[in-house]
């Protein structure tokens, strides 16, 4: 019996592009907006984080300078729908003050002239900003080929067999990044999120409907399990 071909990140991208349609990068906004949106998205869903971001913009029509200079209690009240408001409000103001010290205003445009490693170091110097948040800013807002690993990317990558069972989300950034060419970083992230939401559910994965099932370690293992016959 011929051996099954092993999955690779390039194969995953090409297979999911064929299944879902290819994706191409477009800017998700400037780095400061992206960083603040990502901070607001931590430990909540997209709907609540987007509402919190919009609430804050409405509450402070003077822009990020007004958020920076406001009493922290006012910022907390504005972003309350995003959850962990006290923690996130302090972090947002820290970012805005740091940006002002560096550039003279609430602007992270200076990051464009920095190397990717230096941008990562700068962003991760803020409390609560780790590899995923910095990667989101770099990839979505700056077009840099740095992979963010969220719960969907981690779960699907692990099930397929691209990362080991003991590799957590933090370690997965480096492991998966080393397997990807620059051009595949953005589509890999987007397509695995699509697959994770539509097919590769955390509790009830639909392996029979998955375009990756022929090489997926999890799907192959599931297919070998004996079926239980019900007595009539």
SS3 8: coil
| C-alpha distances in Å from residue 85, one per residue of 35, 60, 61 | 16, 16, 19
Q: Is 132 a catalytic residue?
A: yes
Instruction: Report the distance separating Cα 221 and Cα 207, nearest Å.
Output: 11
Q: What is the 3-state secondary structure (H, E, C) of 115-127?
A: CHHHHHHHHCCCC
Buried residues in 49-87 as b, exposed as e (16+ CB within 10 A): bbbbbebbeeebeeebebbbebeeeebbebbbbbbbbee
Q: Which of 185, 102, 91, 84 is nearest to 129 (CA)?
A: 91
Q: Which of 90, 132, 204, 229 is catalytic?
A: 132
CA 131 to CA 144: how far, in whole Å? Answer: 14
Integer angstrom CA distances of residue 110 from 33, 76, 107, 115: 14, 28, 8, 11
Residue 183, helix vs strand vs coil: helix
Active site residues: 132
């Amino acid at each position: 019996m011929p051996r099954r071909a092993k999955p690779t990140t390039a194969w995953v991208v090409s297979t999911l592009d064929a299944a879902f349609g290819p994706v191409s990068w477009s800017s998700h906004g400037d780095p400061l907006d992206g960083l603040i949106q990502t901070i607001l998205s931590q430990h909540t869903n997209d709907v609540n984080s987007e509402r919190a971001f919009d609430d804050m913009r409405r509450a402070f029509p003077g822009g990020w300078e007004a958020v920076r200079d406001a009493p922290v209690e006012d910022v907390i009240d504005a972003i309350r729908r995003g959850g962990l408001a006290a923690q996130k409000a302090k972090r947002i103001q820290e970012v805005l003050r740091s940006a002002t010290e560096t550039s003279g205003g609430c602007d992270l445009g200076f990051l464009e002239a920095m190397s990717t490693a230096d941008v990562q170091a700068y962003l991760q110097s803020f409390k609560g900003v780790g590899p995923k948040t910095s990667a989101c800013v770099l990839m979505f807002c700056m077009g840099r080929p740095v992979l963010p690993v969220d719960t969907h990317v981690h779960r699907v990558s692990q099930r397929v067999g691209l990362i080991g069972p003991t590799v957590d989300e933090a370690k997965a950034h480096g492991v998966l990044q080393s397997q990807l060419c620059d051009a595949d970083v953005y589509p890999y992230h987007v397509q695995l999120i699509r697959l994770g939401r539509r097919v590769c559910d955390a509790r009830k994965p639909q392996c029979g409907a998955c375009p990756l099932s022929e090489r997926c370690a999890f799907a192959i293992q599931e297919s070998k399990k004996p079926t239980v016959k019900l007595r009539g």
